Amino acid sequence: MAEPAPAPANATLTDWIAVTAGSLGALLATLDISITNSALPQIQGQIGATGTEGTWISTGYLMSEIVMIPLAAWLTRVFGLRRFLISTAALFTLFSMYCGFSSSLAMMIIGRIGQGFVGGAMIPTAQTIIRTRLPAHQLPIGTTLFGLTVLLGPLLGPVIGGWLTENIDWRWCFFLNLPISAALIALLWSGLAPEPADMRQFVEADWRGIAGLALGLSSLTVVLEEGQREHWFDSAMICWLSVLTVLGFALIAWGQFGARRPILRLQLLANRSFASVLLIGTIIGAGLYGTAYLVPQFLATLSGYNAQQAGGIMLLSGLPAFLLMPLLPRMLKRIDLRLLVGLGLLMYCASCLCDISLTADSVGHDFYASQLLRGFAQIMVMMPLSQLSMGSVEPRDAGDAAGLYNMARNLGGTIGLALIGVLVDRRNHFHDAVIRSSVSANSPLAQERLAADAAGFVAQGGDPAFAQLQALGRFANSIARQASVMTFNDAFLLLGLAMLACVPLAFILKRRPAPRVAH
End-of-domain residue from the set 179, 204, 229: 204
Structural contact between residues 162 and 300, judged by C-beta atoms closer than 8 angstroms: no
Band of pLDDT at residue 89, cut at 50, 70 and 90: very high
- Averaged over 419-432, what is the pLDDT? 83
- Is 293 in the same domain as 422? yes
Q: What is the pLDDT of residues 135-189, one digit of tens each?
A: 877 777 887 777 777 777 777 887 788 788 778 888 888 998 899 899 999 999 9
- CATH for 51: 1.20.1250.20
Band of pLDDT at residue 257, cut at 50, 70 and 90: confident
- Averaged over 463-481, what is the pLDDT? 65
How would DSSP label each residue in 497-508? HHHHHHGGGGGT
Number of domains in the chain: 4
- Is 50 in the same domain as 189? yes
- Averaged over 227-242, what is the pLDDT? 83
2 in a structural domain:
no
496 in a structural domain:
yes
Q: Rounded mean pLDDT of the chain?
A: 80
254 in a structural domain:
yes
- Averaged over 446-467, what is the pLDDT? 60
Band of pLDDT at residue 465, cut at 50, 70 and 90: low
- Is 148 in the same domain as 276? no
* Helix H or strand E segment including 448: helix 444-459
**pLDDT score of 271 more than 50:** yes
- Is 29 in the same domain as 174? yes
End-of-domain residue from the set 215, 243, 262: 262
- Is 394 in the same domain as 333? yes
- Is 312 in the same domain as 451? no
481 in a structural domain:
yes
Backbone angles phi, psi at 121, to 5 degrees: -75, -25
Looking at residue 86, its pLDDT comes to 92
- Is 228 in the same domain as 367? no
- Is 409 in the same domain as 501? yes
- Averaged over 208-237, what is the pLDDT? 82
- Is 70 in the same domain as 184? yes
d(CA 378, CA 309): 22
- Averaged over 375-401, what is the pLDDT? 78
324 in a structural domain:
yes
358 in a structural domain:
yes
Biggest CA pair distance of the chain: 102
- Averaged over 348-370, what is the pLDDT? 89
- Is 247 in the same domain as 273? no
End-of-domain residue from the set 262, 291, 309: 262
d(CA 70, CA 458): 65
Band of pLDDT at residue 7, cut at 50, 70 and 90: low
Looking at residue 255, its pLDDT comes to 79
Band of pLDDT at residue 455, cut at 50, 70 and 90: low
Structural domain including 255 reads 206-262
**Out of 19-28, 460-469, 491-500, least confident range:** 460-469
- Averaged over 471-490, what is the pLDDT? 78
Band of pLDDT at residue 518, cut at 50, 70 and 90: very low
With a CB cutoff of 8 Å and minimum separation 6, the contacts of 471 are 450, 451, 453, 454, 457
- Is 186 in the same domain as 168? yes
Residue 301's CB is within 10 A of a number of other CB atoms, namely 13
Looking at residue 51, its pLDDT comes to 58
- Is 442 in the same domain as 508? no
* Helix H or strand E segment including 412: helix 398-438
Looking at per-residue pLDDT, the higher value among 296 and 259 belongs to: 296
471 in a structural domain:
yes
Band of pLDDT at residue 476, cut at 50, 70 and 90: low
364 in a structural domain:
yes
**pLDDT score of 33 more than 80:** no
